[in-house]
Structure 1
Amino acid sequence: MAATADQDLESKIQHNVDHHDVYEEKAGISAFKAGAIEAENAEHNMTVMEAVKAYPMASFWAFVMSCTIIMESYDVFLMGNFLALPSFTQDFGVWSEAHGEYIVVTKWQSALQVSGQLGALIGVFLAGPLTSRIGYRWATLTGLMLLNVFIFSMYFAKSLPVMFVSQLLEGIPWGIFIANAPAYCSEIVPIKLRAPATQMLQMFWAVGSIIVGAVTYHYNDVKGPSAYRIPIALQWMFPTPLAILIFFAPESPWWLTRKGRTEEAAKAVERLGKRSQVNSTETVAMMRRVIDLEKSEKKPNHIELFKGTDLRRTLIVCCVYAAQNLTGNLIANQAVYFFKQAGMGVSTAFALGLITSALQMIFVMLSWILTTYFGRRSIYLWGSAANLTLLVALGVAGSVGVSKAASNAQASLGLIVSVLFTLGPAPASWVIIGETSAIRLRPLTTGMGRATYYIVEIPCIFLASYMLNPNSGNLGGKCGYVWGGTALVCLVTAWWGLPEMKGRSYREIDIMFRRRIPARQWKKTVIDVNDDE
C-alpha cells in the first residue's frame, strides 16, 4: 500500500511538472507571437517620415549598398559612348566610305556591349550560393576587391579581344552587386521605406550614366588613347571607398535570423534604427515568424525556385527583369549612339546623352512619391503603356523620310522614352523584385531574375546594334516598332500576372502566394494579423 501511495504521489508530481512545462511553453509561444504582431503593426502604422526617423541608419546603409550599382551603370554606358567616341573608333574601328568616318564593325559593337553582361550572368549565379553562405556584406566586399583587380586588364587592353575578356571579368562582380543590392535594401528597412530604398538602385544607375556622360563629353574632342583610357581608369574611384564603408555596415538581420543568429540580428536591428523607437526583440520575433512560415529541412537551392508557389514568385521576378530590356531600356543604354544615328552631331549627341541621364535621375526621385502613394502595379502598368505609345510614335517619326524635322522628332522621342522609363517601369521593377521573393530563397531568386535579364539582354543588344548600325539595318527611329511590339507583350503579361504588394508585410505576401490569390485581387484581399498558415 505504501509503495502504491508513493507511486501515485510521484505520478501526480510529474504530471504537475509536465503541465507546468507545457504552460510555460505555451506562454512563451504566445509572448513570441504577440511581439511579432506588435512589430508588424508598428511598421504598418508608421508614416514614411516616421519610418525615416525611426530607421535613419537603415536609409544610410541602403544608400551605400545602392552605390555599388554605379559601377555597372558606368561601364555599360561607357561602352555605348565609346562607340560614338572618335578616338576610340579610330583606334578600334574601320573606315566607312559610305559615311566618311571610322566605325566599329557590328559584330564587335555587339560583342563589347554583351561582354560585361556575360560576366554578370556568371556573377549572379555565383551570388546566390555565396550570399546564402557568407552573407550580403562579405559577398559584396569580395566583389569589390575582384573589381579593383579586373579594371587593370581593361585599362591596358590594346585590342578588341582583350577588351572583350576584360569586360567579361569585370562583369562577374557586377553580377554579385546587382543580385545582392535589391535584396539587402529591401531587408534592412521597414515596410514604408521599401519602395524608396530599392528605387535608389535606379537612381544610382542614372548617376553612373551621368558621370560617364560628363567624362566622355569632355573627352570627345581629345585625340589619342587618353580619350578612352582616362574614363576607364576613373572606374577605380568606386570600389575601395565603398569597400571601406560596407566593411562597417551591419549584416541583414533577416539573413542573420535565417542562420539562427538571433542575438546578432537584434544588434543589427539596433544599429539600423533608433533604440528609443525600435524594439529589437519584437522585430526579430517578427522575422522569426516569417522564417518559420517558410521553414524547410532542405538547404536553399535553385531547384526550389521552380516548385510550388515559389515558381510563381520566380516567374514574376524573371518577367519583370526581362521586361526592362523589352520596353525601351536599350534605347536609354545606347542613347548617345542613337542620337548620332538620328542625325545629331557628335557634340550634340553627347550633350543630349548627358541631359537624358540628368533627367533620368530627377524622374527616379519623382517615382519615389508615385510608388509610395499609388502602388507598384498601377505605376508599372501605366508607365509601360505610355512607353509603348511613345515607341510606336518613334517608329512613325523614323518612317516619314529624311529631314531635319524627322531627325529632331526621333531624337526628342528617344530622349522622352529613355526618361519616362525611369519614372514608371524601371524604379517600380526594383521594388517588385525586392518584395516578391521568399525570404529563405531571396538571394537565389534575385540572382535568377537578374540572370534572366542578361539572357534576354544579350540577344537584344545584338539586335539593337544591328538595327542602328548604318552598315547593317540602318533603321534609326524605326526600331521603335520592334521595341513597341515587345513592350506590348510585356504590358499584357504584367496586367495578367503582376500583384500589388504595396503596404504588405513579408508575412502577408507569403500567405497570399500560398493561397494562390489572383494578381488582380491582391489589392482588396484582407489578411488577418493572427494568420500563420
Structure 2
Amino acid sequence: MDTKEHTADTHDHEEDQKRNNSVYTEKADLYDFKAGAIEAENAEHNMTVLGAVRAYPWASFWAFVMSCCIIMESYDVFLIGNFVALPAFVEKFGVINPATGLKVIAFKWQSSLQVSGQLGALVGVFLAGPLTSRIGYRYATITGLMLLNCFIFIFFFAQSMPVIFAAQIMEGIPWGIFIANAPAYCSEIVPIQLRAPATQMLQMFWAIGSIIVGGVTYATEGVSSSSAYRIPIALQWMFPTPLAILMFLAPESPWWLVRKGKFEQAAKSVKRLGSGTDPTETVAMMRRVIELEKNDKEPNHLELFKGTDLYRTLIVCGVYAAQNLTGNLIANQAVYFFTQAGLDGHTAFALGLITSALQWVFVMLSWILTTYYGRRAIYLWGSAVNTILLFALGIAGAVSKKGAHSGNLAQAALGLIISVGFTLGPAPASWVIIGETSAIRLRPLTTGTGRAVYYIVEFPCIFLASYMLNPTGGDLGGKCGFVWGATGLCCLITAYFFLPEMKGRSYREIDILFKRKVPARQWKKTVIDVNDDE
C-alpha cells in the first residue's frame, strides 16, 4: 500500500474517532445537564415557603429593592389625584366654576394630568423590552432612575398647567421601565414558592407610595402657599439615587445571564441570591427551560403574537387591562371621590390616608392567600366580590338624594371598601400572573407590551372616570359603580374561561402546558412528568 494512502486512511480514522468522541461527550454533557436540572427543579418543588425564605434571603431582599422602584409611579399617580383636591394647588391652577362661584381644576386639565404620566410610561414600556434584553435588568433600571432625577426638576419649577403636563410625560418614561422590569426581575430571582410574595410586593409598594402621598398632602392641606404642593413634589428626590446605588450592587437576573450564554456569571448570581440548591444545578435547570424556547433570533415584538406565545401575551395584556376596568381608578382617585361624595376636604384626605394604610395591610394578607390557594382562585373570587360591591355603589348613588348625609356616608364607605378590597384579590394576584405567564426568552417584551395595553386602556378610562365624578362633567358620584361593575363583570367572565392556575409550577412545566394547549380550567389537574421536554 502506498505510504500516502496509508497516512490518509490513518488521518480519516482519527477524524472519525474525534467526531465520535465529540458526539459522545456532547451526549454525556446533555445527560449531566438534564440530571442537574431535574435535581434543582425537584429541590425547588420540595421547599416550603419558610424554607425558601431561609434558603434565599438575599433573593427576597433584592426583590424588595426592585419593588421599591414602583413607589415612584404610585407616588406621582396619587399625588396628581390628590392635587386636584388640594386647596393651594386649586387656587394656583384652577378656574371659577360658574355654578358655585368656587375654583376647581378644569375638567380638561384634570383628565390630562391623570393621563400625562401614563403617556410617558407608554413610551417607557416599549423602550424597556429591547433595552433590558440588551443591557440587563440592573442597568436598564439604573438608567431610568437617573433620568427621573432630572425630570423631577421640571415638575418642581413648573408655573403653568402645560409645563406640568410636559413634566409628567417625561417622568412617565422611567416609570415605564420600572413597571415593565420589576415583575419580570422579581419572578426570575426567587424560587417557585416565593414567586407570589416577591411579585405581590409590587402592589404593596404601590400602596406605600399612596400612604406617603396621603400623609404629606394631609399635612399640607391647610397650607395656603405654594409649599403645599412643592414639598410633596420635592419629596420625589428621596428615592432615585439610593435605589440606583442599591441596584448597582444587586445581582443580575441569572435567567437573563443564561439567555446570554453567560453561565459562569449566572452561577455566581445564583450563589449571591441564596443557598437553596447547587448553583451549577440551578443554572442547568435554567438552561433546560431556555433550550425548550430556543431560537437563534434576537427576541422581537412580532414573536409575542405567534403560536402559543399569542395566548400568553393575551393573558398578560388582559390581566393588565382588567386593573383599569374593575375599580382601580376609584382607588387611584379615592380622595377626589370622597370629596365628590359630599365629604369635607379634611375628612376626605384623612379617609384617603386610611384607605392607603388598609391597602398596605391587605396586600400582605394577599401573600398568604395567593401562595396557598392559588392565583386563579384568588383572582376570580376577588373579582366577583369586587363586581358585586361596584354594583352596590351604583345602587347607593342612585337611591341617595343629592347632599343627603347618610347617602354620602354610604357611598364613601363603599368607595373605601372597593379601594381596599381591590388590593386583597385581583390587584396583587395580577402581578403574580404577569410575572409567571410569559416565556422566559420574551419576558421583558411581554411585560412591557402588557403594561402598554394597561396604559392604552387607562387613557379613555381616566377621561371617563374624571367626567363621571367632576361637577362640571357628568357629576354621577356613586352611580359610576354601574359602569365599572359592568366592565368588571366582563373581565370576570373572560378570566373564568381563559386564566390558568400556575401555582407551584416551574417555568418548564408552564412552557409545556402552554405548548400542549391544555384548557385553562384543566391546568390544576394536569400532571407533567419531571423528565418531559417539549
- Provide TM-score, normalisation by structure 2: 0.97
Superposition deviation, residue 96 in structure 1: 2.1
Q: Whole-Å Cα distance in 2 between the matches of residues 309 and 471 of structure 1?
A: 47
Q: Whole-Å Cα distance in 2 between the matches of residues 273 and 133 of structure 1?
A: 26
Amino acid at match of 2:65: V
After superposition, give the CA deviation of every residue in 1:139-164 in whole Å (9 maximum; x if it has no partner).
00000000000000000001000000
Q: Whole-Å Cα distance in 2 between the matches of residues 236 and 7 of structure 1?
A: 74
Amino acid at match of 2:289: V
Q: Whole-Å Cα distance in 2 between the matches of residues 247 and 14 of structure 1?
A: 49
**Is 1:239 matched up with 2:240?**
yes
RMSD: 1.4
Q: Whole-Å Cα distance in 2 between the matches of residues 346 and 282 of structure 1?
A: 59
Superposition deviation, residue 101 in structure 1: 2.4
**Is 1:204 matched up with 2:197?**
no
8 Å Cα contact 1:65/1:181 also seen in 2: yes
Q: Which residue of 2 aligns with 1:431?
A: 432
After superposition, give the CA deviation of every residue in 1:487-526 in whole Å (9 maximum; x if it has no partner).
0110011001100000000011111111111111101011
Superposition deviation, residue 401 in structure 1: 2.7
Q: Which residue of 2 aligns with 1:219?
A: 220
Q: Which residue of 2 aligns with 1:354?
A: 353
Structure 2: stretches of 5+ with no match in the other structure? none
Q: Which residue of 1 aligns with 2:76?
A: 75
After superposition, give the CA deviation of every residue in 1:90-133 in whole Å (9 maximum; x if it has no partner).
11111224334210111110001100000000000000000001
Farther-moved stretch of structure 1 (93-102 vs 518-527) = 93-102
**Is 1:420 matched up with 2:434?**
no
Q: Whole-Å Cα distance in 1 between the matches of residues 249 and 528 of structure 2?
A: 38
Q: Whole-Å Cα distance in 2 between the matches of residues 12 and 242 of structure 1?
A: 61
Q: Whole-Å Cα distance in 1 between the matches of residues 470 and 165 of structure 2?
A: 19
Q: Which residue of 2 aligns with 1:149?
A: 150
Superposition deviation, residue 471 in structure 1: 1.4
Q: Tell me the secondary structure at the aligned position of residue 399 of structure 1.
A: helix
Q: Residue 221 and residue 22 in structure 1: after superposition, are their counterparts in 2 closer, same or farther (change >3 A)?
A: same
Q: Whole-Å Cα distance in 1 between the matches of residues 247 and 24 of structure 2?
A: 45
Q: Which residue of 1 aligns with 2:161?
A: 160
8 Å Cα contact 1:117/1:171 also seen in 2: yes
8 Å Cα contact 2:43/2:277 also seen in 1: no
Q: Tell me the secondary structure at the aligned position of residue 103 of structure 2.
A: strand
Q: Tell me the secondary structure at the aligned position of residue 296 of structure 2.
A: coil
Amino acid at match of 2:231: I
Q: Which residue of 1 aligns with 2:29?
A: 28
Q: Whole-Å Cα distance in 2 between the matches of residues 331 and 17 of structure 1?
A: 69
Amino acid at match of 2:499: L
8 Å Cα contact 1:64/1:242 also seen in 2: yes
Superposition deviation, residue 335 in structure 1: 0.1
Q: Whole-Å Cα distance in 1 between the matches of residues 338 and 194 of structure 2?
A: 37
Q: Which residue of 1 aligns with 2:249?
A: 248
Q: Whole-Å Cα distance in 2 between the matches of residues 171 and 451 of structure 1?
A: 12
Q: Which residue of 2 aligns with 1:511?
A: 512
Q: Whole-Å Cα distance in 2 between the matches of residues 24 and 288 of structure 1?
A: 18
Q: Whole-Å Cα distance in 1 between the matches of residues 150 and 13 of structure 2?
A: 72
After superposition, give the CA deviation of every residue in 1:357-402 in whole Å (9 maximum; x if it has no partner).
0000000000000000000000000000000000000000001132
Q: Whole-Å Cα distance in 2 between the matches of residues 46 and 350 of structure 1?
A: 44
Q: Which residue of 1 aligns with 2:113?
A: 112
8 Å Cα contact 1:86/1:102 also seen in 2: no
Superposition deviation, residue 224 in structure 1: 1.4
Q: Whole-Å Cα distance in 2 between the matches of residues 522 and 215 of structure 1?
A: 46
1:184-333 matches, within 5 Å, as: 184-274=185-275, 277-333=276-332
Amino acid at match of 2:391: V
Q: Whole-Å Cα distance in 1 between the matches of residues 277 and 503 of structure 2?
A: 22
Q: Whole-Å Cα distance in 2 between the matches of residues 375 and 179 of structure 1?
A: 23
Q: Which residue of 2 aligns with 1:471?
A: 472
8 Å Cα contact 2:400/2:408 also seen in 1: no
Q: Tell me the secondary structure at the aligned position of residue 517 of structure 1.
A: coil
Q: Whole-Å Cα distance in 2 between the matches of residues 48 and 113 of structure 1?
A: 39
Superposition deviation, residue 356 in structure 1: 0.3
Structure 1: stretches of 5+ with no match in the other structure? none
Superposition deviation, residue 459 in structure 1: 0.7
Q: Whole-Å Cα distance in 2 between the matches of residues 339 and 304 of structure 1?
A: 45
Q: Tell me the secondary structure at the aligned position of residue 324 of structure 1.
A: helix
Q: Residue 15 and residue 358 in structure 1: after superposition, are their counterparts in 2 closer, same or farther (change >3 A)?
A: same
After superposition, give the CA deviation of every residue in 1:326-380 in whole Å (9 maximum; x if it has no partner).
0000000000000000011100000000000000000000000000000000000
Q: Residue 10 and residue 386 in structure 1: after superposition, are their counterparts in 2 closer, same or farther (change >3 A)?
A: same
Q: Which residue of 2 aligns with 1:530?
A: 531
Q: Whole-Å Cα distance in 2 between the matches of residues 117 and 6 of structure 1?
A: 73
8 Å Cα contact 2:501/2:524 also seen in 1: yes
Q: Whole-Å Cα distance in 2 between the matches of residues 192 and 488 of structure 1?
A: 31
Q: Which residue of 1 aligns with 2:92?
A: 91
Q: Which residue of 1 aligns with 2:336?
A: 337
Amino acid at match of 1:383: G
Amino acid at match of 2:297: K
Q: Whole-Å Cα distance in 1 between the matches of residues 249 and 25 of structure 2?
A: 40
Q: Whole-Å Cα distance in 2 between the matches of residues 357 and 520 of structure 1?
A: 34
Superposition deviation, residue 11 in structure 1: 6.8
Superposition deviation, residue 14 in structure 1: 5.8
Q: Whole-Å Cα distance in 2 between the matches of residues 266 and 381 of structure 1?
A: 38
Q: Whole-Å Cα distance in 2 between the matches of residues 17 and 56 of structure 1?
A: 46
Q: Residue 404 and residue 23 in structure 1: after superposition, are their counterparts in 2 closer, same or farther (change >3 A)?
A: same
Q: Residue 404 and residue 34 in structure 1: after superposition, are their counterparts in 2 closer, same or farther (change >3 A)?
A: same
Superposition deviation, residue 63 in structure 1: 0.1
Q: Which residue of 2 aligns with 1:494?
A: 495
Superposition deviation, residue 15 in structure 1: 5.4
Superposition deviation, residue 17 in structure 1: 4.9
**Fraction of identical pairs, as percent:** 75
Q: Whole-Å Cα distance in 2 between the matches of residues 265 and 498 of structure 1?
A: 32
Q: Whole-Å Cα distance in 2 between the matches of residues 110 and 18 of structure 1?
A: 68
Q: Whole-Å Cα distance in 1 between the matches of residues 7 and 88 of structure 2?
A: 100
1:13-52 matches, within 5 Å, as: 17-52=18-53
Superposition deviation, residue 2 in structure 1: 8.9
Q: Whole-Å Cα distance in 2 between the matches of residues 305 and 147 of structure 1?
A: 29
Q: Tell me the secondary structure at the aligned position of residue 96 of structure 2.
A: strand
Q: Whole-Å Cα distance in 2 between the matches of residues 75 and 98 of structure 1?
A: 31
Q: Tell me the secondary structure at the aligned position of residue 398 of structure 1.
A: helix
Q: Residue 292 and residue 401 in structure 1: after superposition, are their counterparts in 2 closer, same or farther (change >3 A)?
A: same
Q: Tell me the secondary structure at the aligned position of residue 473 of structure 1.
A: coil
Amino acid at match of 1:109: Q
Q: Tell me the secondary structure at the aligned position of residue 399 of structure 2.
A: coil
Q: Residue 89 and residue 28 in structure 1: after superposition, are their counterparts in 2 closer, same or farther (change >3 A)?
A: same
Amino acid at match of 1:116: G
Superposition deviation, residue 16 in structure 1: 5.1
**Is 1:381 matched up with 2:354?**
no
Amino acid at match of 2:97: S
